[in-house]
Amino acid sequence: MEQPTQEQIKEFWEGWGLAEQTTGSWYVDEVGGEYVCCELPPIDLNNLFRYAFTAAVRKLTDDHNYAESYAITTIMQSWMLEAGDNIPDALALFWVLDKIRKEED
C-alpha cells in the first residue's frame, strides 16, 4: 500500500472538515472551530480518530441510514481487512476513511 501524497493528505483533511486559515493554520471547520495546528495534522491514529473517524461514522449513518454501531463496525472491519503484516495501522485506516470520504451521497 502506497503512502498518500501531500495533495491526497490535504484533500483528506479538508474532506473531513478541516480548513486552512489565511495564516496557514488549520482548524476544524465548524462554528467556534477548534484550532488544530500550524500545518496539516500528521496521519496517525490519534488524529484519524479525533478528526476523521467520527465524521466517517456520521457520513455512513446519514448517507446509508446505518445505525451508529453498524457504521462503527463497518469501518473497523474494513480497517482490519485493509491492514496487513507490513502495513502500518494508521496508513490502513487512512485509506479506509478516504474511501468512505469519496463515496457519493
Question: Domain spans of the chain?
Answer: 6-102
Residue 73 pLDDT greater than 90, yes or no: yes
Residue 37 CA to residue 27 CA, distance in Å, equals: 7
- pLDDT at position 33 is 54
Whole-prediction pTM: 0.85
Average pLDDT (12-41) is: 71
